[in-house]
Amino acid sequence: MFRPNLSNSQLLFFLYRQTPRTYRVLQRLNTARLELHTHTVMLTTASSTLLRSKSASFIRTTTTIYLRAANMSTSASDRLVLTSRSPNNSVAILTLNRPKALNALSSPLFEQLNEELEKADEDESVKAIVLTGGEKAFAAGADIKEMKDKQYAEVYKTNFLGSWTKMSSIRKPIIGAVSGYALGGGCELAMLCDILLCTPNATFSQPEITLGIIPGAGGTQRLTHLIGKARAMDMVLTGRKINGTTAGEWGLVSRVVGEGENVVDEAVKVGETIAGFGAVAVQAGKEAVNEALELPLDQGLRYERKLFHSLFATADQKEGMGAFAEKRKPSWTNQ
């Protein structure tokens, strides 16, 4: 094994002459200091002459790849919400990224989350959104360090936690994928999702009572709608924890994935299924179901019927019913 003897200055020379853009970007990120010993170039060769003739090209290529990866990693570590796409590009995947704090929901994190949700909602190529956290914690609650010294006047005047409700205004379906802890604000965030999947060993709880407060972002209201008064009262007044299997039995989650199944992968599959339908009908369906929580039955039925009637003015209704009659797959235009 032959190791070329390159000094730091020689490597920096190659970086500057051969990959100036990458080097300057890295420099702006204050990471231009290279740890040469961890990135020693190693080549198997029978000829030092060949090495000298190829070294510049090799170093340029391998170093550029490394620096791009480092740049991406640095950028990702600064973001509290990471974004990616499903293989067919129709599902936006948002991942909470405060692993050291078990994804505690700070105000900066929620600002970024709302920003990314709005971007996905406005992007016509996105048909559904998956929201997830880490394997150990979806979100272990609100950021108590941020909250502990707040006073009544401050939280009242600033409508503290009010920004959490913005998620409910997103028009596209949001599929939650919960693994690990979903406690307090994390449980409330999960309940804001339209469809919620979890692992059998996920943990849900509203433990605010142990802190001298009660849930403030839907933990008394949405929880009661989902699992009923008796069970909601139990969780809110005792701080009781339930696992994913129980959450499925109680109706807190839509589906509990099987042992060994990846909850994010399963959530993406749900998103891709939804993305395969006409976007107008999907949006109308979400709107109608949400209104069921707000309206008496007779008013809800009228609301549903109006939306149903309105879809007969869409091109997708004509296409969907025409395709069914002709025994072919529909080609949606989302119009």
Summarize pLDDT for 188-202 with one digit per residue, the tens.
999 999 999 999 999
Does domain 279-325 fall under CATH 1.10.443.10? My reply is no
Establish whether 124 is a catalytic residue: no
pLDDT classification of 297: cutoffs 50, 70, 90: very high
Task: Give 113's strand partners.
Answer: none
Mean pLDDT of the residues in the chain: 82
Establish whether 266 is a catalytic residue: no
> Which has the higher per-residue pLDDT, 42 or 225?
225
Q: Name the amino acid, one letter, at 280.
A: V
- Mean pLDDT of the region 248-263: 96
Residue 14 has pLDDT above 80, yes or no: no
Q: Quote the CA–CA distance of 66 and 72 in Å, as a whole number.
A: 10
Task: Give 2's strand partners.
Answer: 43
Marked catalytic residue, from 133, 176, 188, 217? 188
pLDDT classification of 292: cutoffs 50, 70, 90: very high
CATH 3.90.226.10 segments of the chain: 82-275
Structure tokens at 70: 């480092």
The class (CATH top level) of 82-275 is alpha beta
Closest alpha carbon to 289 in 272, 308, 276, 275:
308
Marked catalytic residue, from 104, 120, 142, 190? 142
CATH 1.10.12.10 segments of the chain: 279-325
Marked catalytic residue, from 133, 176, 184, 185? 185
pLDDT for 327: 96
CA distances to 133, 166, 178, 187, 215 from 93, in Å? 10, 18, 13, 19, 27
pLDDT classification of 22: cutoffs 50, 70, 90: very low
Marked catalytic residue, from 208, 244, 275, 281? 208
Establish whether 142 is a catalytic residue: yes
The percentage of residues in the chain with a pLDDT greater than 90, rounded to a whole number, is 66
- 261-277: pLDDT as tens digits: 999 999 999 999 999 99
pLDDT for 32: 38
